[in-house]
Amino acid sequence: MLSKEIRKRFLEFFKSKGHEIVASDTLVPGKDASLLFTGAGMNQFKDQFLGHNITYKRAVSSQKCLRTADLDNVGVTAYHHTFFEMLGNFSFGDYFKKEAIAWAWEFMTKELGIPEKQLWVSVYRDDGEAYGIWKNIVKIPEKKIVKMDAKENFWPSNAPSDGPNGPCGPCSEIFFDSGRGESVEVWNLVFTQFDRKESGKLLPLPNKNIDTGMGLERIAAVMQGVKTNFETDLFVPIIKELKTGKFTVSDMNAIADHIRAVTFAISDGISPSNEERGHVVRKLIRRAYMRGGGKEPFLYNMVPAVVEIMKDVYPELSRRREEICLIVKEEEEKFANTLAGAAPVLEEDFKKARGGILDGEKIFKLTDTYGLPVEIIESEARKKKIKLDKKGFEKFMDERRRLSRKNSKIEEDIFTLHLFAGAPKPELSRKDPFEAKIVTIKFPKSKDKGKRASKGDEADILTSPQSGLFYAESGGQAGDSGVIRLKGEKSPAAKILDTYRFDGRIIHKCVMEKPLVRGDEVIVELDRNRKKYIAKNHTATHLLQGALRKVLGEHVHQAGSYVNGERLRFDFTHMKKLTDREIEKVESIVNDCITKKIAVEKHEKTLEEAKKEGAIALFGEKYADRVRMVSVGGFSKEVCGGTHVDNAGDIELFKITRESSVAAGVRRIEALTSKRARAWLEENEKRKARGEKLLREKEREKLREKEGLRKAAAGIDDMLEKAKDIKGVKIVIEEIANANMGILRKLSDSIKAKTKSSFVFLGSRDGERVDIVLTGTKDLVSNGFNASEIIKSAAKIVNGSGGGRPDFAQAGGKNPSELKKVFEFIEKSAADIIGRI
Say if residue 410's pLDDT is above 50: no
The whole-angstrom separation of Cα 210 and Cα 193 is 9
Half-sphere exposure (Cβ direction) of 668: Cα atoms closer than 13 Å: 12
Q: How far apart are CA 117 and CA 109, in angstroms?
A: 10
19 pLDDT band, cuts 50/70/90, is: very high
Average pLDDT over residues 345-360: 89
Maximum separation of any 2 CA atoms in the chain, in Å: 121
What dihedral angle (degrees, nearest 10) is formed by the CA atoms of 630, 632, 637, 643? Answer: -30
Which residues on neighbouring strands pair with residue 484, listed in sequence order? 494, 524
Q: Can you tell me the distance from the alpha carbon of 217 to that of 275, in angstroms, rounded to the nearest whole number?
A: 29
Residue 402 binned pLDDT confidence (cut-offs 50, 70, 90): low
- Please name each of the domains of the chain with its CATH number: 3-233 (3.30.930.10), 353-417 (no CATH), 428-526 (2.40.30.130), 531-680 (3.30.980.10), 717-835 (3.10.310.40)
In the predicted model, is pLDDT for residue 533 greater than 80?
yes
- Residue 656 vs residue 45, higher pLDDT: 656
Strand ranges (E), 145-229: 145-148, 154-155, 166-177, 183-196, 202-215
Is residue 383 pLDDT above 80, yes or no?
yes
Which strand (E) or helix (H) includes residue 568?
strand 568-573
pLDDT-based confidence at residue 670 (cuts at 50, 70, 90) = very high
Average pLDDT (792-816) is 94
Q: Give mean pLDDT, residues 475-493.
A: 94
Q: Say what percent of the chain tops pLDDT 90.
A: 61
Lowest mean pLDDT among 533-537, 577-581, 687-691: 687-691
Write b or e for each residue in 102-137: b if 16 or more Cβ atoms lie within 10 A of its Cβ, otherwise e. Answer: bbbbebbeeebebeeeebbbbbbbebebbbebbbee
Beta bridge partners of 171: 190
Q: What is the pLDDT of residue 704?
A: 78
**pLDDT band, residue 164 (cuts 50/70/90):** confident
The model's pLDDT over 600-610, given as tens digits with 9 standing for 90+, comes to 999 999 988 88
What average pLDDT does the segment 197-223 reach?
Answer: 92
Strand 202-215 vs strand 83-92: parallel, antiparallel, or unpaired?
antiparallel
Query: What backbone torsions phi and psi does residue 529 show, to the nearest 5 degrees?
Result: -65, -45
Work out the pLDDT band at 414, boundaries 50, 70, 90.
Answer: very low
pLDDT one-digit tens code per residue, 713-725: 888 888 998 899 9
Q: Give pLDDT, residue 417.
A: 45
Whether residue 825 has pLDDT greater than 50: yes
pLDDT of residue 777: 93
Report yes or no: 38 and 28 within 8 Å, Cβ to Cβ.
yes
**How far is residue 104's CA from residue 89's CA, in Å, rounded to a whole number?**
9
For residues 311-322, average pLDDT:
91
pLDDT per residue as tens digits for the range 88-115: 999 999 999 999 999 999 999 999 999 9
Distances (CA, A) of 323 to 238, 292, 451: 19, 22, 54
pLDDT averaged over the chain?
89
Task: Give the pLDDT band of residue 32 (cuts 50, 70, 90).
Answer: low
With contact defined as beta carbons under 8 Å apart, do 256 and 305 qualify? no
Task: Give the per-residue pLDDT at 145.
Answer: 96
End-to-end C-alpha distance for the chain, whole angstroms: 98
Name the pairing type of β-strands 568-573 and 20-21.
unpaired
Instruction: Report the C-alpha dihedral over residues 309, 312, 314, 318, rounded to 10 degrees.
Output: 70
Sequential DSSP letters for 42-107: GGGGHHHHTT-S-S-SEEEEEEEEE--TTGGGTTTSSS--SEEEEEEEEEESS--HHHHHHHHHHI
pLDDT of residue 617: 81
Choice between 382 and 375, residue whose per-residue pLDDT is larger? 382
> For residue 438, which of 462, 422, 414 has the smallest C-alpha distance?
462
CB atoms within 10 A of CB 550: 14
φ and ψ of 463, to 5 deg: -110, 165
CB 266 within 8 A of CB 281: yes
Residue 148: pLDDT over 80: yes
| Backbone φ/ψ region at 171: left (φ over 0), alpha (ψ -120 to 50), beta | beta
pLDDT computed for residue 422 by the predictor: 65
Entry field: residues in the chain: 837
Beta strand spans in 443-567 (E): 449-450, 452-453, 458-464, 466-467, 482-486, 494-502, 505-512, 516-517, 521-526, 558-563
Determine the 3-state secondary structure of 358 from DSSP: strand
pLDDT surpasses 80 at 446: no
328 CB neighbour count, 10 Å cutoff: 28
Q: Taking Cα atoms as reference points, which of 233, 242, 251 lies closest to residue 74? A: 251
